[in-house]
Amino acid sequence: MSERVVVRKTYKLFIGGAFPRSESGRSYVVSSSKGKFLANASKASRKDAREAVAAARKAFPGWSSATAYNRGQILYRVAEMLEGRRSQFVTELVDADGVGVRRAGELVDAAVDRLVWYAGWSDKIGAIRGSANPVAGPYFNLSSTEPTGVVAVVAPEAGPLLGLVSVIAPVIVTGNTCVVVASERAPLPSITLAEVLATSDLPGGVVNILTGSAAEIAPWLAGHMDVNAIDLTGAEPELAVSCEQDAAENLKRVLRPASGKADWITDPGTGRMTAFLETKTVWHPIGI
């Protein structure tokens, strides 16, 4: 009896909760670290990026006004779903990243734990970043945090799962929606992560994932007038500078790439959340 032929997966984009191919019809070959053909990934175009921004914008009012408790539970749910697919991700990381099985397992575990960690921040970040201000007059004065809006994220090239989760979670936990450009070299785990997101009660459009060339797509996002902020973590230095310049057009908030090698294992701190938070101060007179 011949060996059963495996049913392979078609990797597509993730936009508005659906999995479309690139409208451009383009794809590119993704190989393992050993050079073996893994799959064709969709090569997203400018139009795909714009569709993704539109989906993220559409999802923003609902997601940003969901209760923090609700958002926290959904992120926790993402962690649950990821844990359930642990072995699948281990296999994908071994293929994509050239790491050993044991190391891949640690990276998946760390990604799950990172999601759980950020999930808990949803209803706490406001407590440490907001304030009741003792103004010199008869006014109630309260500053609270609000999400910035639609955030474009250039995910790190290295760390196709842990790095990716570590840039998405802090953006969405506070109520932002995002368009992510996945690791160009190792995009497949990002689309498998999209399957996790799609089955975690996360509303469609909150996270949109594009695979393809960051150098091609990121500038469109950086110059897009309906994007409010951009995380350039995964952008090469030259691309990061030109994107920061383009981002000035509508005063996007810019998170610049960190210098040195990214370490996704250590405590990430709150900086990735606060980079995409606004502070709103409300005044009201006190009187009888």
Assess 127 for contact with other proteins (CB under 8 A).
Answer: no
Q: Does 109 bind other proteins (CB under 8 A)?
A: no
Distance in Å from the first CA to the final CA of the chain:
88
Alpha helices in 85-161 (DSSP H): 86-97, 101-121, 125-129
70 is a contact residue toward other proteins (CB under 8 A): no
The verdict on 136 binding other proteins (CB under 8 A) reads yes
Considering the complex, state which of residue 85 and residue 253 has its C-beta at the smaller distance from other proteins: 253
Q: Does 58 bind other proteins (CB under 8 A)?
A: no
Q: Which member of 84, 98, 100, 271 binds other proteins (CB under 8 A)?
A: 271
Instruction: Count the neighbouring beta carbons within 10 Å of the beta carbon of residue 57.
Output: 17
Say whether residue 137 binds other proteins (CB under 8 A).
Answer: yes
- Cβ at position 165, least distance to other proteins in Å: 24
Rounded to whole angstroms, the Cα distance separating 113 from 97 reads: 20
Q: Based on CB atoms, which residue is closest to other proteins, 14 or 220? A: 220
Q: Which residue in the set 133, 258, 263, 265 belongs to the binding site for other proteins (CB under 8 A)?
A: 133
Contact status: 280 vs other proteins (CB under 8 A): yes
The residue within the footprint of other proteins, chosen from 66, 216, 241, 268 (CB under 8 A), is: 241
Sign of the CA dihedral running 191, 92, 235, 278: positive
Using CB under 8 A as the binding rule, whether residue 24 contacts other proteins is answered as: no
Ranges within 149-168 binding other proteins (CB under 8 A) = 149
Quick one: DSSP state of residue 14? Answer: B
Long-range CB contacts for residues 234-243, cutoff 8 Å, separation at least 24 = 234/154, 234/155, 234/156, 234/157, 234/163, 234/167, 234/181, 234/183, 235/154, 239/154, 239/214, 239/215, 243/154, 243/218, 243/219
Kindly state whether residue 124 participates in binding other proteins, applying the rule CB under 8 A. no
- Residues near 91 by beta carbon (within 8 Å), at least 6 away in sequence: 104
Which of 1, 251, 266, 288: binder of other proteins (CB under 8 A)?
251
- 92 is an interface residue for other proteins by CB under 8 A: no
- Measured CA to CA, the distance from residue 222 to residue 219 in angstroms comes to 5
Query: Residue 135 or residue 265: which is nearer to other proteins going by CB?
Result: 135
Q: Does 25 bind other proteins (CB under 8 A)?
A: no
CA distance 208 to 58: 12
Span near other proteins by CB under 8 A; candidates 38-46, 163-171, 197-205, 233-241: 233-241
Q: Alpha carbon 151 to chain centroid distance?
A: 9
* Amino acid symbol at 28: Y
Q: Which residues bind other proteins (CB under 8 A)?
A: 65, 128, 131, 133-137, 139, 141, 143, 148-149, 228, 237, 240-242, 244-245, 247-251, 253, 256, 271, 278-285
